[in-house]
Amino acid sequence: MRRAAWTLVMSIGLTGLSIGLSIGLSGCAGNGEGLDETGRPMDNGPLPLVPTFASIQQNVFTPICTTCHAGASAPLGLRLDEASSYAALVNAASVEVPVLRRVLPGDPDASYLIQKLEGRAAVGSTMPLGQAPLPAATIAVIRQWIAQGAQRPVVSTSIDAPAKLHGVAPAADDILDSAPTEIVIASANAIDTTLIQTGAVQVVRSGGDGSFEEGNEVQVPSLTVTVRSEAPTVLVVTKTDGPFLPDSYRVTIAGTGSIAASDRAGLPIDGDGDGKPGGDFVEYFEVGRAL
């Protein structure tokens, strides 16, 4: 009886262990749910700093830099929140020294971000302003990320999760004191940028009354659309015949029709944010106060 009872206990214990292992493994393997880009669980607090965009965002940009670099009043328009930082940094010209890129993939020494962090920039102060300089080890990790190409993983798309766009600078409903030099629109996905170049982007101003229902709206001419990053996609819209006038503006990227923006598999963007392919992307911003 004692041997039989012991055998039963061992059997139950091994079965429980097997179930536990099965549950544990199914929660951290297989389809990758709950894991970050390094394959580690995402719910255990900040991970050690490693040379990936996600790690640098989590450990440096978000907790340190966004104390200043956030919102419409971010210094020099440089927003470093998670939704904006990649588009605002990689291949973006520095405002203080326009001949330099804030982050030049493959070349940390020529990247203005590194120059500011190391205190050797030609203009301004060491960043983060008013705080202790970042440790050399932290800067070394950011250097390594840039040297390796300053990559950011692209979010995959599907019929159930089509690509989405968002305004970076200006962001949606921003009220700006001065005219922007460019409009930056980004996606965490890879968009087919060949379609973006065929008239899919329009910018309209209200005509001075802040409304887009009166029939006196003015389509902004002389727009140029350039691609700052392919994957993830970052688009830059510039006005070549002078600054944006004080007014309310509407930015539209077609998500329907023959010139609909789509991902590289041909799936239209989820422009209207309903979780389904199709619908135009529309965002508004204001320069000064409409007269």
* Residue where a domain stops, chosen among 93, 120, 147: 147
Q: Identify the band that residue 44 occupies on the pLDDT scale cut at 50, 70 and 90.
A: low
User: Is residue 33 included in any domain, yes or no?
Assistant: no
Residues 207 and 171 in one domain: yes
User: Is residue 14 included in any domain, yes or no?
Assistant: no
Sign of the C-alpha dihedral computed for residues 74, 78, 82 and 84 taken in this order = positive
Q: Identify the band that residue 27 occupies on the pLDDT scale cut at 50, 70 and 90.
A: very low
Q: How far is CA 82 from CA 28, 137, 167, 176, 254, in A?
A: 25, 22, 13, 21, 25
Residues 139 and 189 in one domain: no
* Residue where a domain stops, chosen among 83, 116, 147: 147
Percent of the chain predicted with pLDDT > 90: 74
123-146 residue pLDDT tens: 989 999 988 999 999 999 999 999
> Is residue 18's pLDDT more than 70?
no
Segment 231-240 shows an average pLDDT of 95
| Residue-number span of the structural domain to which 87 is assigned | 53-147
How high is the pLDDT of residue 195? Answer: 82
Bigger pLDDT: 13 vs 216:
216
The predicted model scores a pTM of 0.80
Q: Whole-angstrom Cα distance, residue 199 to residue 223?
A: 10
Residues 113 and 210 in one domain: no
Segment 114-125 shows an average pLDDT of 94
Number of domains in the chain: 2
What CATH number did the domain enclosing 226 receive?
A: 2.60.40.1220
Segment 137-163 shows an average pLDDT of 96
Q: Are strands 281-287 and 174-176 parallel, antiparallel or unpaired?
A: parallel
